[in-house]
Amino acid sequence: MKPADATKTALLVIDVQNGLLHPTHWGPSRSTPDCEENIALLLSAVREHNKKQGGGPESSSNSVAICHVHHHSIYPNSPLRPGDQIEINGQILDAVQPMSVARPEPGEKIFVKNVNSSFIGTELEAYLRGQGVRQLIIVGLTTDQCVSTTTRMASNLRVVSITSPNGDLDEGDIILAGDACATFAKGGYDAETVHGVNLASLNEEFAQVERTQDVLRVVFGHSHV
């Protein structure tokens, strides 16, 4: 990890949408109770950092790009199908809209997908390359599906890599904030097991799996979280 002041950085927030709050569709239990709180902490840190740079996510070379990815399912039984609503704690919410902790602010990019990868059918790859991003921080839902697929593709596409004129590859950094991701129990395995195994598969092969507090400390200089 590198300080955002010294390395062009982007925060990628994947599928933090109301439809993922469905009480039964995704699985009997969910991992990572602090996931949403950690996502909120990272978004707050990025926005605070950008204000110090003089504006929004594209205001200067040291500002951090904020990218929200929203899933719009093409399947009629999905809680993430556009037009559907979901009842949570007595409130009727639009299923594809972002959760309150991850509502985009003006100037933050939104990419809409209908498959697991945030790079398929979107302009995300072109945007990250165009911004010169060398460090990508990934958070969101769900660890084993859209987060994993996107992380693997970010690595395989080398979206934060550059090649020198003599052919040397500088791969940049892909950071997966493991405690700012979550998934559900499935296949007879509890949610924390599914979450942990998938993080272990990604770590040091496709990304560096880090804790939110460490990302806040190293990348954004927060000594106390």
The pLDDT of residue 157 is 98
Is pLDDT of 88 > 90? Answer: no
Residue scoring higher pLDDT (123 or 165): 123
> Whats the size of the chain, residue-wise?
225
Is pLDDT of 225 > 70? Answer: no
The pLDDT of residue 140 is 98
Q: How far is CA 206 from the centre of its chain?
A: 14
At 48, which helix (H) or strand (E)? helix 35-52
Mean pLDDT, rounded, for 188-209 = 98
Strand-pair partners of 20:
none
Is pLDDT of 166 > 60? Answer: yes
The pLDDT of residue 59 is 57
Mean pLDDT, rounded, for 70-79 = 94
Is pLDDT of 145 > 70? Answer: yes
Query: b or e along 12-38 (b: 16 or more beta carbons within 10 Å of the residue's beta carbon)?
Result: bbbbbbbbbbbeeebbeebbbeebbeb
163 phi, psi to nearest 5 deg:
-115, 130
Of 57-61, 62-66, 141-145, 201-205, which gets the smallest average pLDDT? 57-61
Cα–Cα distance measured from residue 119 to residue 88, given in angstroms and rounded to the nearest whole number:
30
pLDDT tens digit string along 26-62? 889 999 999 999 999 999 999 999 998 887 666 567 8
Whole-prediction pTM: 0.95
50 phi, psi to nearest 5 deg:
-65, -35
Single-letter residue type at 2: K
CB 14 within 8 A of CB 140: yes
pLDDT tens digit string along 172-186? 999 999 999 999 999
Of 85-99, 116-130, 148-162, which gets the smallest average pLDDT? 85-99
